[in-house]
A and B are shown apart, each in its own frame.
Chain A
Amino acid sequence: TQLLEQSPQFLSIQEGENLTVYCNSSSVFSSLQWYRQEPGEGPVLLVTVVTGGEVKKLKRLTFQFGDARKDSSLHITAAQPGDTGLYLCAGHSSGTYKYIFGTGTRLKVLA
């Protein structure tokens, strides 16, 4: 069974701090997505990474795909209250229809 474990599960930080969220698996994925979900809403896609070692930046968010395509990280620089939400990673293998979702990291940024 493919699993994606995220850490930490919960994170509460002050505005302006930096943080990193990790997404780890023993399985290889052909692509990995990161989503952010706000309370009462559906997950919104932030980024997709497909190449081992790939780094993508989205303003203050930096996403990295591990060299072996088994893990990923999300780094937020100078967090703001608007970054508050549930961050989900999802792994996808080409040739399959399914997505394997991580357990989620709930981030709260305090003003």
Chain B
Amino acid sequence: DVKVTQSSRYLVKRTGEKVFLECVQDMDHENMFWYRQDPGLGLRLIYFSYDVKMKEKGDIPEGYSVSREKKERFSLILESASTNQTSMYLCASSGRGLLDTEAFFGQGTRLTVV
């Protein structure tokens, strides 16, 4: 079974802190994604990576950065956390082959910035 694991289920951080969200997948997938999910807004793509050290901005990259030093690990960084970044953060991965059509999600990290 594909497994995507996010390092924390719940996080509470203070405004201005630098926050790291970690995600690891065990299926040797090339593509990894970070989304945030907010009521009424659905899933919005923050960043995605299609290979080690490669990244592309998604729809809402402002205030975030990412790091992919190893194929299995994709980190989301909130440079200076703000209250409007309180959200559910979801990591996902997918393969790149013609038959790799699905994205698989981690369990989510509920981040609260106070």
Asked if A50 CB lies within 8 Å of chain B CBs, one says: yes
Are the CB atoms of A99 and B108 closer together than 8 Å?
A: no
Residues on the B chain within 8 Å of A98, using CB: 45, 48
Q: How many pairs of residues, A versus B, come closer than 8 Å at their CB atoms? A: 51
Interface residues of B, dominant DSSP: strand
Query: In which size bucket is the chain B interface?
Result: 20 to 34
Query: In which size bucket is the chain A interface?
Result: 20 to 34
In whole Å, how far is A96's beta carbon from the nearest beta carbon of chain B?
10
Are the CB atoms of B42 and A102 closer together than 8 Å?
A: yes
Q: Give the B-binding residues of A (Cβ under 8 A).
A: 30-31, 33, 35, 40-45, 48, 50, 88, 90, 92, 94, 97-99, 101-104
Are the CB atoms of A48 and B108 closer together than 8 Å?
A: no
Cα distance, A92 to B33, chains bound together (Å): 14
